[in-house]
Structure 1
Amino acid sequence: MAVFQFNLIFSTLFYSVIFLKISVGVDTLFPNQTIVVGQTLISRSQIFELGFFSGTRYLGIWYKSTPDVIVWVANRENPITNTRKVFLTIAENGTLAITSGGRIIWSAELFEPASNPVLQLLDNGNLNRKSPSEESFIWQSFDYPTDTWLPGMKMAYDTDSGRHKYITSWRNPNDPSPGYFTLRIENLGLPEMVIWRGKTKRFRTGKWNGLYFSGGPPFPNSVFKPDVVIKEEMMISMSEIFDSSVLVRLTLETSGTLRRYTMSARRDKWNPVYANPLDPCDEYGKCGPNGICRIDKPVICECLRGFAPKFQKDWDRQDWSGGCARIKPLNCENGDGFLEVKGVKHPDMLQ
């Protein structure tokens, strides 16, 4: 089946090249047209640009005014090693592929054939493939995010379709291949957003309380105005409405820090707005079980009342991961009860 699909794609692209047209639309690629190294698509309002970058090794989308900020990479797992005859093309049946030296480097999933589809780069940064007579997209880059969450793009936890959409950091600032960190929606108990390093949690927003995440500022606010879909007590998706007058992005950096940026009024630089984790106390499990982190203290970790370090020698070396243990067994009949603790996230009780 895989061999048949490859032959079908290759045959389609071969005949596309025979009828190759040299001109490329400003924001649209028509059937049998190609983009080669040095050519780009530019969105209608000159916000985004698509083309080859990093010495022609990758096809990506970037901000036209700040081309060093790449927001999407098509072939992040398959860099182009042979830079001879590199091009992106869309065939009459909708096949979208990057080829190099006659070999297919990357192709978009083709779930069903389409009649004379076009490829268009929108002002929100979404690259979409659709038939001229249809409003809905046959394929879109927003369904395959890389390290950047853009307004109009959905983070999704869709159990019905079995497809989850999340962002993954680059490997390093010069290598867009999938890195060590991911940002996902998690629906264990109440929903929350979690940054993972492999299978280890690095940061959590705190549980969703019906209005916002308990570990962050209330929203909508002047910085973040999300659209949240809840179904059967599960967060299905979260997105942000695109507004061309205010350009923003949320990037999961190679360090595992999630950082939000806003573009300056002159659209010549990016201003950082906030970051998560905010400080060492914002990192997941910094002080271990039954510990509490206070960033204003010389030693930031301490035990809750009635608890003591589980491994004192580790605590003396500022390794707090082992957490705290009860000093004496709990005895509710002798006055033990609940203690209010303010300014903290609800504990992560589920494994």
Structure 2
Amino acid sequence: MPPLHILLGLLLLLNPPPCCSSAAANGDKLTAGQALAVGSKLVSRNGKFALGFFQPAAAAGSISKSSHSWYLGIWFNKIPVFTTVWVANREEPIIHHNLNLTQLKITSDGNLVIVGDLSYLSRSTLQYGVKSQKNKPRAALLLNTGNLALTSQHTMLWQSFDYPTDLLLPTAKFGRNKITGFSHQLISKKSLIDPGVGSYNIELQDTNGFILKRRNNPSMVYWRYASSTISSLNLLPVLKSLLDLDPRTKGLVDDVNYVDNNQEEYYMYTLRDESSPSAFVLLDISGQIKLNLWSQASKSWQTIYAQPDNPCDPPATCGPFTICSSKPNQSCDCMENFSQKSPYDWEFDDRTGGCIRNTLLHWTHERNTTSSTDIFHPTSQVQYPYNSQSILNTTTQRKCEEACLGSCSCTAYSYNNRRCSVWNGELLNVILAEGIDNTAEHVLYLRLAAKYFLPSLRKNKRKPNLRVVTAASIIGFGLLMFTLLLLIWRNKFKRRSLLSISYDNQGSAGGIIAFRYTDLVHATKNFSEKLGGGGFGCVYKGLLSDSKTSVAVKRLDVAHQAGEK
């Protein structure tokens, strides 16, 4: 069976377009002799869906990015958030610069093809197509359901619903053909700006039922549902009741059908009518199956239901050397002394690269013996990664640690109930397990370079705690204001008491006392009682603050040239 991206009836030709011109396609139909070029689109009769060439674009925080690649796909036409529902060439993007030569058309032999200067494409794309039936006109029709169908005299020869990408629209079958062995499957996309084949897929298999698994290495099944007539008869009413309990989905789904006969087995759901809010089942980038519903109030897609319920359950959803936390929302963080391999990819939900070391490990190999100065950092309250190896004859934690240090590929170990487990290579699926006590039985010892633990290095690498910095700033500002007020009050007090303090010190020290002008004004009652005149000024009577000592105060007056008695 060909890969999903090689669609039956969608050929990517290597030859340039013919010299003769083609009429532009319009409406919801593309017929022989017409062409759909970049910038044009087909629109379903109800206006809900559009087909054309597009460039993926997304915004993450302050970053807005458009892909350099072009794709042929179908999207919601009336929803302001650009959302594709099907992509034809997700593994063979159009990357050439001469887009004017790229067209979708029906060839003379009745095949639906993309033509243009596509010399970069592999020859494998020419292997699959609809068998030609001469003298029978064909047309490509975009239906109101979002299904692209290739028809000939009211007979459907091929449809996009048989080759879904990462989501399932209402009225589309999801199941398998018992005769041919063909199976529908959803495959997640790589990132928000790359609709290519991602890490997870789900399909209905012969005896295993629904299988949700990780495609990339390591490949593993992490969710399954045993499909049968009995189990489906029990599940479907419950599922519909759950949807009716939610005000957002009450009355939305008209029916959920399960069909199992001699030819095929499939599930299909339908909405009550075309005026119902847009909804679809999605296999998300994270590996979760989600039921998404368009909210007109918030102008966004809302997730009504997700499976698995824990977003950290899909294997390696955060990538290698990361810790996944599901509360309150999913978050992925790098392990100690690791940083994001590609922060740009992380911004657009592509975490397959995970995190990489900031400081390389140190080890030497001499005479068939490996030695290392590396140190282990305890990481508590986590669910252990998978693919562990047990080390026998290790009766103590110290021996378990030495066994890990003796291998240059060992990256972590745990010692639990006298059992030593080690991990080699990348650490995947480390999950923060809330509720586990911080004991040695639930600790993962992560191998790090010894020089990372140097105080100067750790000081530079340690990330500041925002709460601590904020609290310290507030406390520092408060202390500064308190000190300033204290100095103002102290200065004012000293001014009031300076006269008395100075006089008391005169008796004990016998020196010359300096008075402030304001103190002299207060002692002489603003120079109101004149005693006489002297050289360069008048002399006034004053009384110090102890109310016992009388003084004579001469006030300098440069206008006086001689004394007066």
Structure-2-length-normalised TM-score: 0.45
Shift of the alpha carbon at 1:12?
Answer: 9.7
> Residue 245 of structure 1 aligns with which residue?
275
More contact order relative to length (CA 8 Å, sep ≥ 6) = 1
Structure 2: unaligned runs, 5 residues or longer: 1-10, 56-67, 316-325, 328-380, 384-415, 422-439, 445-565
Unpaired segments ≥5 residues, structure 1: 1-7, 285-294, 302-308, 320-351
The aligned residue for residue 257 of structure 1 is: 288
Check 1:75–1:312 CA distance in 2 against 1; reply closer, same or farther (3 A cut). Answer: same
Letter in 1 for 2:158: W
* Contact residue 149 and residue 250 of structure 1 kept, 8 A: yes
Q: State the SS of the aligned residue for 1:169.
A: strand
Structure 1 position 249, deviation (Å): 0.3
Whole-Å Cα distance in 2 between the matches of residues 239 and 185 of structure 1? 13
Distance 1:205 1:281 in 2: 19
Provide Cα deviations, 1:302-321, integer angstroms capped at 9, x if missing partner: xxxxxxx99877793278xx
Distance across 2 between alignment mates of 1:120 and 1:48? 12
Shift of 1:145: 0.7
Percent of aligned positions with the same letter in both sequences? 26
Note if 1:81 corresponds to 2:112. no
Matches of 1:9 and 1:187, distance apart in 2: 32
User: 2-side partners of 1:310 and 1:202: how far apart?
Assistant: 27
Equivalence for 2:53: 52
Match in the other structure for 1:18: 20
Runs of 4+ in 1 over 4 A off after TM superposition: 8-15, 102-108, 206-209, 213-217, 265-268, 280-284, 309-315
1:125 matched to which residue of 2?
146
RMSD: 3.7
Matched, 1:97 2:113: yes
The answer for the alignment partner of 1:38 in structure 2 is: 39
Q: Deviations over 1:241-281 (max 9, x none)?
A: 35422221011111101111122357953222111111269
State whether residues 157 and 185 of structure 1, in contact with CA within 8 Å, keep that contact through their aligned partners in structure 2.
Answer: yes
1:162 — aligned with what? 181
State the one-letter code of the partner of 1:58.
Y
TM-score (norm 1): 0.69
**CA offsets 1:101-148 (integer angstroms, 9 cap, x no match):** 2659567721333622111111111001102x22x3111111111001
Cα 1:187–1:213, aligned 2, differ >3 Å: closer, same or farther? farther
- Say whether the 8 Å CA contact 2:15–2:116 is kept in structure 1: no
CA contact (8 A) 1:206 1:216 kept: no
Distance 1:93 1:104 in 2: 24
Could you say which structure has the larger radius of gyration? 2
CA distance in structure 1 between the partners assigned to 2:139 and 2:151 by the alignment: 6
User: Cα gap change, 1:313/1:283 in structure 2, threshold over 3 Å: closer, same or farther?
Assistant: farther
Deviation at 1:83, TM superposition (A): 3.1
Task: Please report how far the alpha carbon of residue 51 of structure 1 lies from its aligned counterpart in structure 2 after TM superposition.
Answer: 0.9
User: 1:30, CA displacement in angstroms?
Assistant: 1.3
- Contact residue 188 and residue 283 of structure 2 kept, 8 A: yes
Query: Which digits, 9 at most, give the CA deviation of each residue in 1:143-197, with x for residues without a partner?
Result: 1110011111111222311211111000122111111101111343xx6322110
> Match for residue 442 of structure 2?
317
Query: Following the alignment from structure 1 to structure 2, what is the Cα–Cα distance between the partners of residues 283 and 313?
Result: 26
Distance 1:201 1:164, change over 3 A: same
How many Å separate the matches in 2 of 1:127 and 1:37? 18
Query: How many Å separate the matches in 2 of 1:206 and 1:142?
Result: 24
User: Matches of 1:238 and 1:27 in 2, distance apart?
Assistant: 28
Conserved? CA contact 1:211–1:218, under 8 Å: no
Shift of 1:99: 2.3
Tell me how far apart the structure 2 counterparts of residues 271 and 87 of structure 1 sit (CA, whole Å).
Answer: 35
Is the 1:57–1:83 contact (alpha carbons within 8 Å) kept by the matching residues of 2? no
Residue of structure 2 aligned with 1:194, choices 206, 211, 217: 211
Query: CA shift at 1:71, angstroms?
Result: 0.9
- Report how many aligned residue pairs link the two structures: 286
The residue type equivalent to 1:72 in the other structure is W
Supply the distance in 2 between the matched residues of 1:310 and 1:125 (Cα, whole angstroms). 57
Contact 2:94 / 2:118 at 8 angstroms: preserved in 1?
A: no
Give the Cα separation in 2 of the matches to 1:144 and 1:241: 19
Q: Aligned in 2, Cα 1:75/1:207: closer, same or farther, shift over 3 Å? A: closer
Deviation, structure 1 residue 87:
1.3
